[in-house]
Every structure is written in C-alpha cells, then in structure tokens.
Amino acid sequence: MLAPRCLALLLAGTVHAQNLPVEVANLREDVRGLAQRVGELALRVEQLERENAELRGQLANAGKAQVTLAQLREALAESAREARAAVAASKAETLQQVATQMEKLAKQTNAALESLARTNGARAPAATGSTGDFPREGISYTVQKGDTLAVIARKTGARAQDIINANQLTDPSRIQAGQVLFIPGGK
C-alpha cells in the first residue's frame, strides 16, 4: 500500500516540479510588478514632498507679503504726511511773499496818492473842475484814522456835501487815513 501512496506523492511532486518554473516565472512577474508599483509610489512621494515644500515657501512668502503690505501702508501714510507738511509750508511761504508784495504795493500806492494829493492840494481850486456848488477857496486836510466825512466837516466848519463835490467822491464812506481832501471854505 505504500507503493501507491508513494507513487501518488511522486507523481504529485513531478507535476509540481513541472509547474515550478511557471510558478517561479509568475512570482518573478509579480515581484517585477510590485517593484514597478513601489517605484511609482516613490516618485509620487517625491512629487508630493516637492509640492509641500513649494506650498511652505508660498506660505512663508505670503507672510512676508503681509509685512510688506503693512510697511507699504505706513510708507504711504508717511508720504501723505510729508506732502501735507510741504503744501502747508509752501502755502505759508507763498502767503508771506504775497503779503510782502502787497505791503510794497501799498507803500508805492500811498506815496503816489500823497504826491497827487500834494499836487492837487496846491492847486485845489483849479484842479477840482467840478461843476458842483461849493466855495472855491479852502484848505487841504489829511484824513486821520477814525475820521468820517461828518467828523471832518465838523472839525473844519465845512459842509459835508461841499467836501463831496469838491473832491468828486463817489462813495464818501470810502475815505482812508492818509488821504488828502480839499475842504472848501474850511478853517
């Protein structure tokens, strides 16, 4: 009975031995497929690590960009403050220059008016040329600060209308300190 059993084992071993190269070949193919898959996975891991490093770099740059934006905002605010200060300084300088020029012009105008007034005061009766009714003889009067036509008329004993006519004043309320007026019949 041993013989059939041994024979069966021997037969099974022989069949198995004949299939062995096929199974080894299959195993080799499986190992090659697994090695290829492991290689693909290794490449994918490398790719994910690169992407991760890239994202970390972008995140770091984003943090730097926020700092840069904050610095940019501060720089813009500082520039705006400097611009406002420069405009204010320029405005003050311009106003000072205008005031100086106006002062010069006022002095020149006053000097010219005084010169005209002295000239008109010396020949007042002939220079008036007014056809109004007022005495042709009189005096020159230099308007003082606070003087009005009524005050001048009272001080000099003349009529306000005669002063208006003699000096051809279109607006008697606009007489100015330093202005020289001819006072008809004045004392």
CATH (domain of 177): 3.10.350.10
Q: Which residues contact 141 (CB under 8 A, 6 or more apart)?
A: 152, 155, 156, 180, 181, 182, 183, 186
Asked if pLDDT for residue 170 goes beyond 70, the answer is yes
Q: What is the dihedral of CA 106, 107, 112, 116, to 10 degrees?
A: 90
* Residue 87 placed within a domain: no
Q: For residue 97, what are the domain limits?
A: 93-184
Asked if pLDDT for residue 126 goes beyond 60, the answer is no
* Residue 166 placed within a domain: yes
* Residue 153 placed within a domain: yes
Asked if pLDDT for residue 125 goes beyond 70, the answer is no
* Residue 66 placed within a domain: no
* Residue 118 placed within a domain: yes
* pTM exceeds cut of 0.75: no
| Range 117-121 average pLDDT | 71
Q: How many residues does the chain have?
A: 187
pLDDT tier for residue 136 given thresholds of 50, 70 and 90:
confident
pLDDT in tens, 22-63: 898 999 999 999 999 999 999 999 999 999 999 998 888 876
pLDDT tier for residue 12 given thresholds of 50, 70 and 90:
low
| Range 121-129 average pLDDT | 47
* Residue 32 placed within a domain: no
pLDDT tier for residue 67 given thresholds of 50, 70 and 90:
low
Token digits for 130? 């007014």
* Residue 70 placed within a domain: no
E-strand spans in the chain? Answer: 138-142, 180-184
Helix (H/G/I), strand (E/B), else coil: 133 = coil
Helix (H/G/I), strand (E/B), else coil: 66 = helix
Q: What's the number of domains the chain is made of?
A: 1
* Residue 177 placed within a domain: yes
pLDDT tier for residue 8 given thresholds of 50, 70 and 90:
low
CB-based contact 166:134 (threshold 8 Å): yes
| Range 75-95 average pLDDT | 92
